[in-house]
Structure 1
Amino acid sequence: MGKSQELYKKAKTLIPGGTQLLSKRPEMFLPNLWPSYYSKAKGCKVWDLDGRKYQDFSYMGIGANILGYADKHVNKAVKKAIDDSSMCTLNAPEEVELADKLCEIHPWADMVRYAKSGGESATIAIRIARASTKKDIVLFCGYHGWHDWYLASNLGDDKNLEGHLLPGLSPLGVPKGLKGTSFPFAYNDKKAFDDLIKKYDGKIATVIMEPLRNTYPDAGFLEHIRKVTKQKNIVLIFDEISAGFRLCLGGSHLIFKVEPDIALFGKAFSNGYPMAAVIGRRSIMEAAQESFISSTYWTDKIGLVAALETIKKYKKNKVEKVLDKNGTMIQNGWEKLAHKNNLNISIMGIKPLSYFSFNYENDKEIKTLFIQEMLKNGFLATTGYYASFAHKSDDINDYLKSVDHVFKLIKKAIKDNNVKELLDSEVCHGGFKRLT
């Protein structure tokens, strides 16, 4: 127990849910022992409030810091923007520069709107699609944030969102009048998609989906979605907030050569500074002028210059190649060390967004033990790894040495049937859960 843990106790009395982001809750990692707060971070190193240093081999700012923490080039651009004033009655010229750059990277797109978070950008895109088509129903596949249009799916069936990243999401507070406006389909399930198209034919405004998350699309899957949405005049939105700028400069859909009508970006493309973008075809995006979509801090200069500098550095250093190399080293290391220690795990995810799971009945207990022991060895680690340009080969080798040690300990604990006895905390949470 240290200053971070003590501060989090206070936070839970002042902040509903303890933090602003579910994915940063200490209970998702190591209840009562996770170092909840940082004093500084640089590259892939993080210092807590007690001055303890860790290497971050978990989520690197929940996927935002693709270049690493406090990147000197991005920070330099941001500091200049601050000195020149990040806010003004007039507009920042970087709005036009970034829009031009995003459309250059994605030649199918003609226009751009900005926001500050992924969830906001998804909601803006849904509004634009509904305004453009004059229809209401949304079909979705994947995770798209916390807003009413998305959680409304659970008004009809509280299991609708179960397979879309987070289980247990309640639609409490979502207007009941939104019931029947949002419906899910599973990734790579063409039949489920076609059944929804048939059932709600003529009423569907948009299909929003992650073109890529944990698995690659089956041959023809994205092409089928694109073909049907074109035939039915349905706006196709690709949510690239998680996958964008991981496999290439821009959206993952560029790899698959399937062009949407709108694409969303956030997280990685501004390296930790609040920024999001909605890019799209002129014929659809112009509907934003008829619907009131407006916010003061969407005009802030900091996110704009951070995105421009991140894109510049990404392109110059071919960052996607480094992310692939790092992710490959991690996935190969997990596989080799699990085999060496006779542990049953499953590895999944694209190389820059890698995951593994323990294939045992008490998997949550084992996961908690893994997090606990890796923390003792100086690593912020869980069963996921988000690759960063800041992770060097020596860092990865140090991490894998620690994984080897912890896997060995876990195998013995499974054999001795005393995993829970070795835990210094409660078992980690696995989804949305009310804090007490």
Structure 2
Amino acid sequence: MGKSQKLYKEAKKIIPGGNQLLSKRPEMFLPDLWPSYYSKSKGCEVWDLDNKHYYDMGIMGIGTSVLGYANPKINKAVKKAIDNGNMSTLNAPEEVLLTKKLLKLHPWADMARYGRTGGESNAIAIRIARAYAKKDKIAFCGYHGWHDWYLSANLNDASNLDNQLLPGLSTKGVPNALKNTVFPFEYGNIEQFKKIVKANSGELGVIIMEVQRSERIDIPFLKEIKKIAKKINAVLIFDEISSGFRQNIGGVHLLHDITPDIVVYGKALSNGFPIGAVLGKAKIMQFAQDTFISSSYWTERTGYVSALETLNYYEKYNVVEKISKKGKYLQKNLNKLFKKYNLKIKAAGIPSVITFNILEDNPQLLKTIYIQELLKRGFLTTTLIYVSIAHTKKIINHYLENVEEVLSLISKNKYNLERILDNEVCHSGFYRLT
């Protein structure tokens, strides 16, 4: 057990849940063995507290770092902003500059507001939409954060959120009065959505959904959702926190000529510095002034500076084209290896966000072995890979060579994987740790 693992044992005693983000819990990867903390990160390389070196062929800061960790150009701009004062009684001009830039990229939108995280940015969008629609009820598809409005879906049925992303999310602390205010529907299931609309006639004011996650984008479905939203006078919000700036500069919806009333961004917008953006039509966004939406650190400078510099980098260096090309190469070769070793696994998703669909018996066990064995070979990986420009052909090929070794081992022990498991099977969702 190294310094990182020992520190996490201490953390669980003094930090509820061990850390601040469920998706970064060691238990989600390799209980007791995952190197929980880093001392340095650069490009797609990470060093733990024992100075062990790893290539990050996994979540890359939960999809935040498309330009690689500690990108010199982004860091230079942020350091300059810090030296000039990252906070003041006055406002940062970059807030206006970023808004102009984002609105130019999204001609259908007129105004923007900002937060620091994806979850709170979605909450901002929901508040504005409810204020405009003057109706409380929400229909949603996908994962949208931790706030009360979202978790209240599980007040009706504890399994309502299981098919959205994370199973087993608890509603403790969420007011029971929010029951029957928010209703989930599955991506592509228009009949399910229509039933929600019919059952809540005249009360449904907001529809929020991810445009695309791991599935292929469903254009007819999105168009029908928009048509119904317009008919019932509900605000349509596209949550592009995960999908944005991965297939184009902006949201995926721009590629398909389907515009929402509001779109929400985060993650890849600023390459690891905290900012979330809420863009929308003026007639709706103006209702932010009819309710109270305000926070001190939404005025802090580095988020705006990093986002501006990231957008400039995207435009100057053809980032989307590069990560898509790398992702296609990686996905194609992973699928070749899965086939070669006769494993029912498929690498799918958009080219720069690769997800593994494991159709073997006991997929969690297989996933754990995969993570365990690649960690031994110097890789932080899982069944989700966010591709960055820092993933060079050499690093990708090195990863693929080691993947082949691991798949060979898994294939040989396919019917007795427990034999090569070093500790516990990784968690699949929300678990209470203590």
Q: Shorter chain as normaliser: what TM range? A: over 0.9
| Distance of 1:343 and 1:162 partners within structure 2 | 26
Partner residue in 2 for 1:395: 395
Partner residue in 2 for 1:149: 149
Partner residue in 1 for 2:34: 34
1:222 to 2:222 alignment: yes
| Distance of 1:429 and 1:377 partners within structure 2 | 22
Could you say what secondary structure the match of 1:375 adopts? helix
Partner residue in 2 for 1:430: 428
Q: Which amino acid aligns with 1:287?
A: F
| Distance of 1:430 and 1:421 partners within structure 2 | 21
Conservation of the 8 A alpha-carbon contact between 2:354 and 2:386: yes
Partner residue in 2 for 1:100: 100
The offset of 1:202, in angstroms, is 1.1
Q: How does 1:280-429 map to 2 (within 5 A)?
A: 280-414=280-414, 417-429=415-427
Partner residue in 2 for 1:127: 127
| Distance of 2:314 and 2:152 partners within structure 1 | 37
| Distance of 1:361 and 1:339 partners within structure 2 | 16
Q: Which amino acid aligns with 1:177?
A: A
| Distance of 2:132 and 2:357 partners within structure 1 | 42
| Distance of 2:287 and 2:379 partners within structure 1 | 48
Could you say what secondary structure the match of 2:62 adopts? coil
The offset of 1:219, in angstroms, is 4.0
Q: Which amino acid aligns with 1:15?
A: I
Q: How does 1:94-243 map to 2 (within 5 A)?
A: 94-243=94-243
Q: Runs of 4 or more off by more than 3 Å in structure 1? A: none
| Distance of 2:121 and 2:358 partners within structure 1 | 34
Q: Which amino acid aligns with 2:425?
A: V
The offset of 1:358, in angstroms, is 2.8
| Distance of 2:129 and 2:159 partners within structure 1 | 26
The offset of 1:162, in angstroms, is 0.9
Cα-to-partner distance string for 1:345-369 (whole Å, 9 max, x where unaligned): 1332111111113322222111111
| Distance of 1:390 and 1:352 partners within structure 2 | 12
| Distance of 1:70 and 1:178 partners within structure 2 | 42
Could you say what secondary structure the match of 2:61 adopts? coil
| Distance of 1:190 and 1:317 partners within structure 2 | 39
Q: Which amino acid aligns with 1:195?
A: K
Could you say what secondary structure the match of 1:39 adopts? strand
Could you say what secondary structure the match of 2:413 adopts? helix
Q: Which amino acid aligns with 1:356?
A: F
Instruction: Single out whichever of 8-17 and 335-344 deviates more from structure 2.
Output: 335-344
Cα-to-partner distance string for 1:42-91 (whole Å, 9 max, x where unaligned): 00000000000000000000000011000001000100111011110000
State the percentage of identical aligned residues: 56
| Distance of 1:130 and 1:48 partners within structure 2 | 45
Could you say what secondary structure the match of 2:101 adopts? helix
Cα-to-partner distance string for 1:380-436 (whole Å, 9 max, x where unaligned): 01111111111111111111001001000000111xx33112111211001111113
| Distance of 1:156 and 1:348 partners within structure 2 | 32
Q: Which amino acid aligns with 1:334?
A: L
Partner residue in 1 for 2:256: 256
| Distance of 1:348 and 1:183 partners within structure 2 | 28
Conservation of the 8 A alpha-carbon contact between 1:188 and 1:217: no
Cα-to-partner distance string for 1:264-309 (whole Å, 9 max, x where unaligned): 0000010000110100000000000010000000000000000000
CA-atom RMSD in angstroms: 0.8
| Distance of 1:160 and 1:323 partners within structure 2 | 34
Could you say what secondary structure the match of 2:279 adopts? strand
Conservation of the 8 A alpha-carbon contact between 1:338 and 1:345: yes
Could you say what secondary structure the match of 1:32 adopts? coil
Could you say what secondary structure the match of 2:30 adopts? coil
| Distance of 2:225 and 2:406 partners within structure 1 | 43
Conservation of the 8 A alpha-carbon contact between 2:353 and 2:387: yes
| Distance of 1:339 and 1:186 partners within structure 2 | 30
| Distance of 1:62 and 1:20 partners within structure 2 | 13
| Distance of 1:49 and 1:421 partners within structure 2 | 30
| Distance of 1:77 and 1:218 partners within structure 2 | 38
The offset of 1:340, in angstroms, is 1.4
Normalised TM-score (structure 1): 0.98
| Distance of 2:274 and 2:429 partners within structure 1 | 25
| Distance of 2:216 and 2:279 partners within structure 1 | 23
| Distance of 1:217 and 1:333 partners within structure 2 | 23
Instruction: Single out whichever of 321-330 and 37-46 deviates more from structure 2.
Output: 321-330
Conservation of the 8 A alpha-carbon contact between 2:219 and 2:256: no
Conservation of the 8 A alpha-carbon contact between 2:343 and 2:360: no
The offset of 1:226, in angstroms, is 1.0
Q: Cα gap change, 1:73/1:45 in structure 2, threshold over 3 Å: closer, same or farther?
A: same
| Distance of 2:71 and 2:412 partners within structure 1 | 41
The offset of 1:317, in angstroms, is 1.1
Conservation of the 8 A alpha-carbon contact between 1:210 and 1:238: yes
